[in-house]
Amino acid sequence: MAEEEILGYLQNHEEICDSGQFAAARGIDHNEIVNVVKSLFGFRFVDVQDIKRETWVLTEEGKKYAAEGSPEVNLFLAVPAEGSITKDELQKKLDPAVFKIGCSQAGKNKWVEMGKQISRKVQHVEDKLKDLLLKIQDGQELDKESINSLKARKLIVLQTWKGYSVRKGPNYAPKRKKPATDLTRENLQRGDWKELEFKEYNLNAKGPPPECGHLHPLNKVKDRLKDIFRQLNFEEMPTNRYVESSFWNFDALFQPQQHPARDSHDTFFLQVPSTTSQLPEDYVKLVKEVHESGGYGSRGYNYDWKREEANKNLLRTHTTAISTRMLYALAQQAKLEPFIPKRYFSIDRVFRNEAVDRTHLAEFHQIEGVVCDRGLTLSHLIGVLEDFFSRLGMSKLRFKPAYNPYTEPSMEIFSYHEGFGKWVEIGNSGMFRPEMLRPMGFPDDVNVIAWGLSLERPTMILYGIDNIRDLFGHKVDLSLMKKNPLCLIGIQ
CB atoms within 10 A of CB 62: 22
**How high is the pLDDT of residue 174?**
84
- Distance of alpha carbon 419 from alpha carbon 397, whole angstroms: 15
| Encoded amino acid at 97, one letter | A
Of the candidates 298, 249, 234, the residue with the CA atom closest to the CA atom of residue 450: 234
**How high is the pLDDT of residue 489?**
64
> Is-cis flag, bond preceding 409, omega within 30?
yes
**How high is the pLDDT of residue 357?**
77
**How high is the pLDDT of residue 244?**
93
- Which whole-number Å values give the CA distances from 239 to 162, 322, 377, in the listed order? 63, 7, 27
**How high is the pLDDT of residue 487?**
67
Using only C-alpha atoms, the chain has a radius of gyration, in whole angstroms, of 41
Who's near 56: CB < 8 A, 6+ residues apart? 136, 142, 147, 150, 156, 157, 158, 159
Strands of 388-490 (E only): list them: 397-404, 407-417, 422-432, 446-454
Instruction: State residue 151 phi and psi, 5-degree precision.
Output: -65, -40
Q: Which residues pair with 344 in a beta bridge?
A: 235, 370
Q: What residue ranges of the chain have pLDDT lower than 50?
A: 491-492
**How high is the pLDDT of residue 490?**
52
**How high is the pLDDT of residue 488?**
62
